[in-house]
Amino acid sequence: MQTKQVVETSPDERFVRYRDIIGRGAAKIVYRGYDREAGKEVAWYKVHLDHIELTKRVETEIRKEFDMLTRIKSPYVLKLIAFWLDSHEYDKVDVICELFYAGSLKSFIRANGLPSDALIRRWGRQILLGIRYLHCEAAETPIIHRDLKCDNVFIHGHTGRVKIGDLGSATISAIDGPMMSIVGTPNFMAPEVFDAMSRAVLAPRELGNRARRIAETTVFGVELLARIKWQTDRQQLGRWMRTQA
């Protein structure tokens, strides 16, 4: 059996990275890696920071946020094991997470076809428990994912359990821009948030934690319906809904 080629080692030499790319995103590349201490494969994220001015204050904030994420312990949230600022490429953060071999919920559905209603309910319950943990239990202030969709929910192929992932990229997004800003199509905004904004009761930057938690839960509910039940995405569903108005 041919040994995999190691292309990078973590500063403490605990983790090694292989060339295999197992995922991509707008601001990240995900490689297959190996945890020498635990004796298992991991997901090694390279999260890009080239859109952020990396001042000392921002660097401190990044370390603080990621340190908080490493303390998250929930059966419904992907475990973030370690992180460090890349000493060779200053515009990147290296993040180590547990690896789910079946990949994202989006790719799993694409490969295996439309799931049953019972399975959708089971997935939905696990995801909602993960959202509740992040919003209410993980830290003193709610952790808002900001990019919760089927691409960022991962499934264990042997057990069928799903977990919320990609919190590292969400953290970078939150540091880069105002956490309370509202973007996207009003069709997918929580009714309470849209109503408050339309009556100018709340400006987007003044939306409280409760409104942001409602918004995130509502958006993911629409994502589940669009992606799983109707085999489409939020943008296509939004265009269809506008034609029916």
- Catalytic site residues? 166
The residues that bridge with 208 in the sheet, in sequence order, are none
State which amino acid sits at residue 101.
Answer: Y
Q: How far apart are CA 131 and CA 77, in angstroms?
A: 9
For 241, residues 6+ apart whose C-beta sits below 8 A from its C-beta are: 187
Q: Tokens for 66?
A: 């990621």
Question: Measured between alpha carbons, how far is residue 106 from residues 84, 115, 153, 237 in Å?
Answer: 29, 12, 8, 16
Q: How many residues does the chain have?
A: 245
For 46, how many CA atoms within 13 A lie in the half-sphere containing its CB?
Answer: 23
Q: Residue 57 is inside which H or E element, if any?
A: helix 56-70
Q: Tokens for 220?
A: 């993911």
